[in-house]
Structure 1
Amino acid sequence: MRAAAFLDRLPETRWPALWLVALCLLLWLPGFFTIPPGDRDESRFAQATRQMVESGDYVRIRLGEVERNKKPAGIHWAQAAVVHGLEAAGVPARGQIWAYRVPSLLGALAAVLATFLLGRALVGRRAAFVAAAMLAPSMVLVVETHIAKTDAALLASITIAMGLMGRAYLAPDRFSPTMAAGFWAVLGLGVLLKGPIAPMVPLLAGITLAVMDRPRGARFWRLSAPWLAALRPGWGLPLMALFAAPWFVAIGIATEGRFFAEAIGGDMLGKVSSGEEAHWGPPGMYAAIFGITAFPSAWIVLRALPQAWAERMSPPVRFLLAWTVPTWLLFEAVATKLPHYVLPTFPALMLLGARWAMDPLRVAPPRWMGWLGNAALVGVAVGLPLVAGAAALHVEGRVEVFALLGIAAGAAMAWVLLRLARAQAWGRAALAGAILAVPVYASVLEGVIPRLQAVWLSPRLAAQLAAVAPGLPDERFGVVGYHEPSLQFALGGEIRLLRDGAAAAAFLAGGQGRIVAVNDRQEAAFRAAAAERGLTLRELGTVAGLNYVRGRQVALSLFRVD
């Protein structure tokens, strides 16, 4: 009874922001400092930022010796600011991956707080608090807080912008110039983070609202949009451009136009027309995995959708649907699919879910949707730590006690929430789900993942190299058969990524004090090429494990000329 009373009083707390911050930190800090750098995207972003810090060039984005003309520089500037700030305070942050994750954590926190603060105008204070608490434990957001890249910060920009747009839509006469300036400013920052994605979401929502709000019987082109005048686009669009244009002009000059050719013609259009980097997915994929990506709140959102559609004539609901539906459908149509692409719609979905959960006159969904939601809840609550434990058993041949604790926590979570569902206590269930998700996530993020030594090849190879050749300059180290960006972050941007065993032998012969790491598939060719050059090799140790990106075992042996 005490727990039930606590959950009932929580939306009325005098310190809602403080409670939400505490919840977010409990959910997100496990693993934040201990999970090593991810092999691909995270290390690409972090290493490019570190090269900015070391070179002092904050216009061009480079990874090693290669230009990285895919995303704007906004997230790199945020990461560099954190690194400089920590180092000014005496914290050696340049080689610590967690320092580059701080903007992601702060961006996610800003998105949660904006869901509450700006969502109050759409669904009321109590439901907005519950919605923010539902957003915080969403699995895709929990993952993004642990990755040093753009998407959590982008979510903050979009959530703030859409929250302000919602106020303009509901009460255009009370929407001040300051609010309008904030709307365009955060969109400008969003453009600096990920190009057109930030303004795309309000643009699609605005088109949808203008079409749906047109007077009955009016011509298609006679649109009704008083909120548009409230947003003051006449000076707002130039303000948005002012935030982003200087860097785009500078990068265009610095790269002689290559940035735009590669970012637009290669990266963006490539994702639309084909599954970039084997990330293709069929239409409907995001709907199919929603129970996972939005765990543990998906089971409530799914129940809320039928009533939301039935009440689409209500202005707040119409706005939230306009925020969600066109953006979701667009990403379903794009060939390249990654789970976080639809994350900008999650605040709206959580607001719809919380509105339903806190409504005493809520309408029960079709029975099959309830069963689907329950299955998603139970399956992920138990399945997430179960999969983590199975991975530990498969990769390292050991039973992971933290996975067992996580399975127990997940089972307890499912039992509690299903009991609350039977009692129709949906507001309590939403808040309890966010709180009970803490031990489930902690068991995996702090207990299992950092302890999977076999999959963290780059830090182990860097440690082995430091043991046999401390202080080796990164340009004197070459590697064959393992070119993951995490190795560049671990060892430096000037390491040599060599093509094959013959290239490794040539690299060793090219100067004194050099070391190469050669994978097992290239070792025979490397030894043969070294023998042809008359090199006497000395093996310095081997690091073996699983390259989880490619799904295959790798053994990397270190060699130098004796």
Structure 2
Amino acid sequence: MKTIAHQALGATVAETDSRRNSPATPGSRSATARTSLGLLALLVVLGLIWFATLGTRSLVSPDEGRYASLALEMARSGDWVTPRLNGLLYFEKPVLQYWIGALAFLGFGVSEFTARLWPGVAGFLTLLAVGFTAGRLWGREAGIRALAVAASMTWIIGNSHFLTLDTGLTLFLTLALSAVLLAHASPEPRSRRRWIWLAWAAMAGAVLTKGLVGIVIPGAVLVVVSLWRRDMGLWRGMHWASGLAIFFALAAPWFVLVSMRNPSFAEFFFIHEHFARYLTQVHQREGAWWYYVPLLLGGMLPWTGGLPWLFRKDPAAQEDGARIKTRDILLVWCAFIFLFFSASGSKLPSYILPMFPALALLVAAQLRNTAASTLRWHLLLPALAWVLLLALAIDPARFASVSTPVEVLQPLADAARLGAVIFLAGAAIAWWCLGRRKVTAAVLAVALAHLVASSMVMQAHNTYGQLKSAAPLAAALQPHITPETPVFAVRTYDQTLPFYLGRNVVLVDYEDEFALGQRVEPQRWIKNLDEFAATWQSLPQAAAYMTKPTWLELQQRGLPMRTVFEDQRRVVVLKK
């Protein structure tokens, strides 16, 4: 069977090569040019929509402020080895994203756009990787569909437009996955070797972005697929000697340097931030076993209805005995990521993001064999989801509270209603296209409608996001302080505060993720409220940020304070 399959594959490749080498007619050249221009136009439109809103929202706490501040401090200090958050040692994550963020700030200035530039670029490159991979495996039409499916998945859109580490991790893991798939499908040894080398380099990027998970996920999938299919072809084709040399040459130098400069790094990073985070609930981010189920269902919209397709046998796949198929690798990739993070003692919503590009490839593969009439009915699920959102957005006052007034919810509700109308219009166009068996046009209509509608809702999030951003309080404080005025964060800390103030703040009676840095450099913080009160009284000028309960407690102590900013959750004061 294998011999027959390989002969068939060779015949197909030879036929393709002969078509490429045969003289092109004017008509075929014209059609190719039109197709290329159409694809270029699609990418331009997608890029404009994708990057348009990156800088139009304030950064929100905690993740966006944390990673923006880490990159900004690296850019300003010139120390490219030891990360610092608010002036304190910070070893929870590797350094690659801080490097990229720092270079963006140095090259393009400090702004919300440059802070989010790398997640935006990483997300966009992930889409291109998905489209390119599907195109090489199944043809240009499948590539366009895969690109559109990935570009419109809610979880990919959302995470690519907020500053976290997971979009960069997803890019590198997707490159590793795609490279292995393309190597496995390539009949030419030199081509296979180059793709595998790219996979090793991508895994190094993943490790430098978020640690050992960047090698654990691809490694585990390799083992599981090989054992499941009882085929060691993938394993033997990894070019271990040259691949490991590439991996360590790229990934190891920073780990060696930071360990040499900071003796506390290795134990904290590898033990506390990997094994303790995964095996225990020390980070207090636990969740039920089904924690990721709703995130998967909602994050896959508008393609959630395609989940049952993923387990359907692909009639177009080669029947070649034990030979591992692309579908096998993609299914194991998705299942392992979902189960691995579901079993973790520390859960965050964005952890399962690396499975979504693989889901997009699976959906695109199954679209090749699904009737247009069947696809019509799959439009009903995302349409129903947007109709439900439309109904919820009619009266935002029902979701208001003392800490979240209706005024900040109203723009979100307005955007949700308009977004629902846009998506339903796109779904109607897709329904019409499917009636004429124009599947690719229908996929593009759904994808662009969902992307535009989701982007509008994210943009409207800014009014609500102000409650979790230091942008308004920093704007109120800046006219009243000088570069020499100390600013204190008392019993609380907004991760965006150093970014918007353009300086570090002094922590008071607050540890959390700063515990290591405070232990190594205790002079950089104030341990309790009594010490803070004495320091405050001794200073000629000072400012402080705190919650309302702390503000009331300090008032009772008689500290001289003048309020310059106050909202439902926070107070900023100056020394009188």
After TM superposition, is the score higher than 0.5? yes
Shift of 1:339: 2.6
Shift of 1:75: 0.5
Give the partner amino acid of 1:125: R
Shift of 1:60: 0.7
Equivalent position to 1:302, from 280, 301, 307: 307
Establish whether residue 464 from structure 1 lines up as the match of residue 471 from structure 2.
no
Aligned to 2:562: 539
Contact 1:20–1:133 (Cα < 8 Å) also in 2: no
Contact 2:75–2:103 (Cα < 8 Å) also in 1: no
Shift of 1:331: 2.1
Aligned to 2:104: 82
Equivalent position to 1:345, from 310, 334, 355: 355
Aligned to 1:498: 508
Single out whichever of 321-330 and 42-51 deviates more from structure 2: 321-330
Distance in 2 (CA, whole Å) between partners of 1:388 and 1:150 is: 35
Aligned to 2:573: 558
Contact 1:457–1:543 (Cα < 8 Å) also in 2: no
Give the 3-state SS of the residue equivalent to 2:575 in structure 1. strand
Contact 2:146–2:361 (Cα < 8 Å) also in 1: yes
Cα distance per residue 1:373-406 (max 9 Å; x no partner):
8435521465289559838972343443434322
Shift of 1:77: 0.7
How has the CA–CA distance of structure 1 residues 28 and 308 changed in structure 2, closer, same or farther, with 3 Å as cutoff?
A: farther
Aligned to 2:72: 50
Q: How does 1:154-193 map to 2 (within 5 A)?
A: 154-171=169-186, 173-174=188-189, 175-193=191-209
Shift of 1:136: 1.1
Shift of 1:242: 0.8
Contact 2:477–2:572 (Cα < 8 Å) also in 1: no
Aligned to 1:390: 396
How has the CA–CA distance of structure 1 residues 263 and 388 changed in structure 2, closer, same or farther, with 3 Å as cutoff?
A: farther
How has the CA–CA distance of structure 1 residues 15 and 461 changed in structure 2, closer, same or farther, with 3 Å as cutoff?
A: same
Give the 3-state SS of the residue equivalent to 1:497 in structure 2. strand
Single out whichever of 25-34 and 238-247 deviates more from structure 2: 25-34
Distance in 2 (CA, whole Å) between partners of 1:428 and 1:402 is: 26
Shift of 1:317: 1.9
Aligned to 1:267: 273
Contact 1:281–1:337 (Cα < 8 Å) also in 2: yes
Give the 3-state SS of the residue equivalent to 1:57 in structure 2. coil
Aligned to 1:483: 493
Give the partner amino acid of 1:146: H
Distance in 2 (CA, whole Å) between partners of 1:246 and 1:345 is: 29
Establish whether residue 200 from structure 1 lines up as the match of residue 206 from structure 2.
no
How has the CA–CA distance of structure 1 residues 558 and 412 changed in structure 2, closer, same or farther, with 3 Å as cutoff?
A: same
Equivalent position to 1:517, from 545, 559, 568: 545
Give the 3-state SS of the residue equivalent to 2:544 in structure 1. strand
Q: Aligned pairs, how many?
A: 515
Distance in 1 (CA, whole Å) between partners of 2:292 and 2:431 is: 25
Single out whichever of 333-342 and 74-83 deviates more from structure 2: 333-342
Distance in 2 (CA, whole Å) between partners of 1:23 and 1:276 is: 45
Establish whether residue 409 from structure 1 lines up as the match of residue 432 from structure 2.
no
Aligned to 2:458: 445
How has the CA–CA distance of structure 1 residues 125 and 388 changed in structure 2, closer, same or farther, with 3 Å as cutoff?
A: farther
Give the 3-state SS of the residue equivalent to 1:343 in structure 2. helix
Aligned to 1:132: 147
Distance in 1 (CA, whole Å) between partners of 2:268 and 2:380 is: 44
Shift of 1:484: 1.7
Contact 1:331–1:341 (Cα < 8 Å) also in 2: yes
Distance in 1 (CA, whole Å) between partners of 2:240 and 2:395 is: 53
How has the CA–CA distance of structure 1 residues 324 and 529 changed in structure 2, closer, same or farther, with 3 Å as cutoff?
A: same
Distance in 2 (CA, whole Å) between partners of 1:188 and 1:434 is: 32
Contact 2:182–2:192 (Cα < 8 Å) also in 1: no
Distance in 1 (CA, whole Å) between partners of 2:310 and 2:95 is: 37
Shift of 1:20: 5.0
Equivalent position to 2:51, from 29, 32, 40: 29
Aligned to 2:62: 40
Aligned to 2:554: 526
Equivalent position to 1:325, from 320, 325, 335: 335
Distance in 2 (CA, whole Å) between partners of 1:274 and 1:281 is: 12
**What percent identity do the matched residue pairs reach?**
21
Aligned to 1:429: 442
Aligned to 2:28: none
Give the partner amino acid of 2:293: A
How has the CA–CA distance of structure 1 residues 34 and 176 changed in structure 2, closer, same or farther, with 3 Å as cutoff?
A: same
Q: CA RMSD in A?
A: 3.2
Contact 2:303–2:382 (Cα < 8 Å) also in 1: no
Equivalent position to 2:259, from 225, 241, 252: 252
Aligned to 1:115: 130
Aligned to 2:344: 334
Distance in 2 (CA, whole Å) between partners of 1:151 and 1:28 is: 17
Shift of 1:282: 2.4
Distance in 2 (CA, whole Å) between partners of 1:242 and 1:277 is: 32
Give the 3-state SS of the residue equivalent to 1:478 in structure 2. strand
Shift of 1:502: 4.2
Distance in 1 (CA, whole Å) between partners of 2:530 and 2:101 is: 38
Give the 3-state SS of the residue equivalent to 1:509 in structure 2. helix
**Where does structure 2 lack aligned partners over 5 or more consecutive residues?**
1-30, 320-324, 510-527
Aligned to 1:232: 239
Contact 1:381–1:410 (Cα < 8 Å) also in 2: no
Distance in 2 (CA, whole Å) between partners of 1:518 and 1:121 is: 55
Cα distance per residue 1:104-139 (max 9 Å; x no partner):
111111111111112233333211221111111222
Shift of 1:21: 3.1
How has the CA–CA distance of structure 1 residues 290 and 268 changed in structure 2, closer, same or farther, with 3 Å as cutoff?
A: same
How has the CA–CA distance of structure 1 residues 363 and 204 changed in structure 2, closer, same or farther, with 3 Å as cutoff?
A: farther
Distance in 2 (CA, whole Å) between partners of 1:233 and 1:125 is: 32
Distance in 2 (CA, whole Å) between partners of 1:538 and 1:288 is: 46
Give the partner amino acid of 1:77: W
Cα distance per residue 1:496-520 (max 9 Å; x no partner):
1223654543232232221223432
Give the partner amino acid of 2:385: G
Cα distance per residue 1:284-327 (max 9 Å; x no partner):
3323332311222222x324223248888762322322332223
TM-score normalised per structure 1: 0.82
Distance in 2 (CA, whole Å) between partners of 1:505 and 1:428 is: 66
Aligned to 1:285: 291
Distance in 1 (CA, whole Å) between partners of 2:286 and 2:393 is: 23
Distance in 1 (CA, whole Å) between partners of 2:217 and 2:465 is: 40
Distance in 2 (CA, whole Å) between partners of 1:388 and 1:238 is: 58
Contact 1:105–1:145 (Cα < 8 Å) also in 2: yes
Distance in 1 (CA, whole Å) between partners of 2:65 and 2:465 is: 18
Distance in 1 (CA, whole Å) between partners of 2:356 and 2:71 is: 28
Cα distance per residue 1:3-39 (max 9 Å; x no partner):
xxxxxx9999314763453344344334311111121
Give the partner amino acid of 1:242: A
Establish whether residue 379 from structure 1 lines up as the match of residue 385 from structure 2.
yes
Give the 3-state SS of the residue equivalent to 1:452 in structure 2. helix
